[in-house]
Amino acid sequence: MPILGVALLAACTLAGLFVGDLLGAALGLEANVGGVGVAMLLLIALTNLPGRRLGPETPTGSGVQFWSMMYIPIIVAMAARQNVFAAVSGGVMAAVAGVLAVLAAFALVPVLSSWAQRP
């Protein structure tokens, strides 16, 4: 049943986010630390249980697959509710800081990737 996949996905997300909140609180932060990452690892582990791998073509898998395909529309909705006006009108210092931070990180991507791929 597709609902089982949706329920599994929701349970993994909730569990991960809760762990992330606890981790943040343990570190004295008001931020979620790695919640989504934990949730993803949990989902990967539970859908790859030895002997009962869950594929996207199974009814249960289709419940997860659907939300995976809804990802881009949700990101478009996220883009449409960003405070773009504040970003554009935030002043020169904010713009320069944001732009340079992005350029510096772009420049480092190939450097670190080549380290990772070195045998």
Partner 1 sequence: MEQIVEFAGTNGLLVAFVFVGAIMVVAYWLSRHVARGTVHGSAIAIALGLLLAFWAGADTGGKNGVADYPLLAGIGVLGGNMFRDFAIVATAFGVRMEDLRKAGLVGALSVPIGVILSFAVGAAVALAFGLTDPAEITTIGAGAATYIVGPVTGASLGVSSRIISLSIAAGLVKAVLVMVATPLVARRIGLDNPVSAMVYGGLMGTTSGVTGGLAATDPKLVPYGAMTSTFYTGLGCLLGPSLIYLVIRSVL
- Please give the residues from 66 up to 85 whose contact with partner 1 meets the rule CB under 8 A: 67-68, 70-85
- Please give the residues from 3 up to 22 whose contact with partner 1 meets the rule CB under 8 A: 9-10, 12-13, 16-17, 20
Compute the chain's Rg from CA coordinates: 19
The distance of closest approach from Cβ of residue 68 to partner 1 in the complex, given in angstroms and rounded to an integer, is: 4
The distance of closest approach from Cβ of residue 95 to partner 1 in the complex, given in angstroms and rounded to an integer, is: 5
Nearer to partner 1 by Cβ, of 52 and 83: the residue is: 83
Nearer to partner 1 by Cβ, of 27 and 52: the residue is: 27
By CB under 8 A, is residue 1 in contact with partner 1? no
Q: Buried b / exposed e across 40-73, counting CB within 10 Å, b at 16+? A: eebbeeebeeeeeebeeebebbebbbeeeeeeee
3 closest CA partner among 61, 72, 73, 74: 61
- Please give the residues from 33 up to 62 whose contact with partner 1 meets the rule CB under 8 A: 33-37, 39-41, 43-44, 47-48, 56, 61
Whether 64 and 47 have beta carbons less than 8 Å apart is answered as yes
